[in-house]
Amino acid sequence: MTHQAAPSFGLPEHHCIIVFTDFCSAAFFADPYPLYEKVRQAGALLPVGPNVRVAGCFGIIDALLRDRRMGKTYLQSLKNSDCL
C-alpha cells in the first residue's frame, strides 16, 4: 500500500496537514477533537481543498458569520463571491 501526499493547493507543503476528507473519516466520527486541535494549531484559515478553507478559531468564525459579504445562505454567499 502506497501513501499519497496531501495536495498542496499552491501552498508550501507544511501548510497542508489536513485535507477535506479528514472530516469524513471514521477516526473523525469516533473522536473529532484531535482533528479540531490540528485545525486550531494550523492557523487562522486552513486550506483543505480547492476554494475550501476551515477556521478553528471562534473569533474568525464569528466574524465570518456576521460579515454581510458572506451572505445569509450558501447560495447567496456564492453569488457574492467570484465563484459564479
Is residue 6 a contact partner of residue 47, using CB atoms and an 8 Å limit? no
Mean pLDDT over 63-81 rounds to 71
Residue 58 backbone dihedrals phi, psi, to 5 degrees:
-55, -45
Neighbours of 20 (CB within 10 A): 13
User: Quick one: cell of 22?
Assistant: 479528514
Q: What is the pTM of this model?
A: 0.57
Is residue 29 a contact partner of residue 12, using CB atoms and an 8 Å limit? no
Mean pLDDT over 27-53 rounds to 89
